[in-house]
Chains A and B, each alone.
Chain A
């Protein structure tokens, strides 16, 4: 019977929603039992959240001051020590999971599957390649553990109606000291998190300055939306890196995505293809974004966006 170990992602206090989406993916494997492991300095609160997730059989905790910050080189050997008991080891395809899981896979001597978007069987999965232009079906060897990351945008988080048991796991492995956490500059925003927001407003190069992004923020605040950006806008320094949506930024699936002054390069489109409704506002009627938009409006964003914001009362 397949048994899946899901590596919880958290910020030291609470569980990241991507973990509930990873559990949803694991639950698609027929007959799988799912354990979640929380590696933290202090795991109790995070584990309590994980224990509520539907489909979870058991939550394991590994508490260690060295786990205060998620350094892949420190976390990986602990995951490897646990992995012997599992047929599958999953984490979200966030920067946390992407950093960690290849290190885990290499230590286990197996390849890793990146960005699972669909489960066909316990050893058969679909994943996007070439910026989402191609969907690859990959078969993993059945006599080896499956180490994989899960594309969060492809899954809806499991509900929190469970009360799985929580157990401390013994983990007696030597941890390296060659990698040290210094600090984190997190974007301080009261707006909804880009990766989980139901509505997202994004701006592109056409905004032309950091100041002009205020138009995007004003609209987003009226809608209660998160704010994203194209690579061009981030490269130009209008907004910080964590707002980038696309192949090399965040892959998101909001109910409503409003792309403003974004031409729609394929690398950007791959980040939004699972959105419910895509709205495009662009003055270039030939912009590729209109090929995928559910609702398109050709116009100058400097007129259209304030008017839209005002009309929302």
Chain B
């Protein structure tokens, strides 16, 4: 195939313990480390491997967000993507809008494959890939842990609740990736320098003919109810007594 499109979302880093703002209007992001959504990194790694096997010519990374998302796109370019597209918006976007934006990008680029993370670790939605596949009227293979291309079709092993499901899909298609598909490469310093020269195009959100979607309003944010630290026991005998006291043995 010619092109693979990969979505990169800028999210609060995996290792940050997120806190709710005191007024309940959102979460604290000031001064917080931001990164590529880890699942999206896996998506990009898979696209790069497909290209390196000679099964694709070009890997394009796309992000939807503020100017800051350029950082994540540059990281994607440093990992090995050929070029980047930033769909620039100041406001928050919902999953359906993101899918509609991606569809516009798909229509412009005509990729043979779109690879996305199975979920973003901020909103934990797990929606955008499926929505894009629906709007594009193409197959979806979600939660992929193995991917094999055979000309006009792909075989995808999916991590489902009961085990591993294999499906075959016609291309083009949308694939969302799970943790065990691959281990993303580390970026080396020379690659970061090289990435600065790679093209990064900006498209204003308003330029895309994306219909406003019915918004889910975020009414409030609150911390979850915390579990309390319990008792420590000294040995197995103490553990058995404690479990019996609770009626669990």
Contact = CB atoms under 8 A, between A and B. Distances in A.
Interface string B161-178: 111111111100100001
Contacts of B230: 278, 293-296
Nearest to A94: B161
B123 interface: yes
A296 B125 CA distance: 33
Interface string A102-130: 11111101111111000000001000111
A297 B236 contact: yes
Contact of A182 (B139, B161, B166, B242): B166
B223 A184 contact: no
Q: Report which residue of A113, A266, A297, A311 has the largest number of chain B beta carbons within 10 angstroms of its beta carbon.
A: A297
A41 interface: no
Contact of A72 (B142, B214, B227): B142
A130 B231 CA distance: 28
A283 interface: no
Interface string B115-127: 0001101111111
Contacts of A137: 218-222
B133 interface: yes
Contacts of A292: 227, 229
Interface in B175-229: 178-180, 213-224, 227, 229
Contact of B237 (A99, A111, A311): A311
Q: Report which residue of A11, A185, A250, A281 has the largest number of chain B beta carbons within 10 angstroms of its beta carbon.
A: A185
A308 interface: yes
* Main SS at interface, chain A: mixed
Interface in B1-54: 12, 17-20, 27
A162 interface: no
Interface stretch (B65-73, B80-88, B93-101): B93-101
B213 to A, nearest CB: 6
B149 interface: no
Given A99-B142, A106-B99, A273-B224, A134 B218 contact: no
A128 B145 CA distance: 25
B24 to A, nearest CB: 9
Given A103-B134, A182-B167, A111 B215 contact: yes
Contacts of B137: 176
Q: Report which residue of A96, A136, A144, A186 has the largest number of chain B beta carbons within 10 angstroms of its beta carbon.
A: A136
A297 to B, nearest CB: 5
A187 B163 contact: yes
Contacts of B231: 294-296
A159 interface: no
A266 B139 CA distance: 34
Interface in A278-313: 278-279, 281, 290-299, 304, 307-308, 311-312
Given A141-B214, A296-B230, A134 B133 contact: no
A257 to B, nearest CB: 10
Given A185-B164, A256-B248, A293-B230, A114 B125 contact: yes
A133 B223 contact: yes
Contacts of B178: 241, 248
Given A106-B130, A296-B230, A297-B232, A247 B224 contact: no
B161 A95 contact: yes
Interface string A62-75: 00000000011100
A158 to B, nearest CB: 20
A107 B134 contact: yes
Interface string A172-187: 0000101111111111
Contacts of A95: 142-143, 158-161
16 contacts: A72-B130, A73-B139, A99-B130, A102-B131, A105-B96, A106-B131, A112-B125, A134-B27, A181-B167, A183-B165, A240-B164, A242-B163, A248-B119, A266-B17, A277-B243, A308-B236
Interface of B: 12, 17-20, 27, 94-96, 99, 118-119, 121-135, 137-143, 145, 155, 158-170, 173, 178-180, 213-224, 227, 229-240, 242-243, 246, 248-249
Across chains A and B, which 3 residue pairs bring their CB atoms closest together, nearest first? Answer: A294-B230, A102-B130, A106-B131
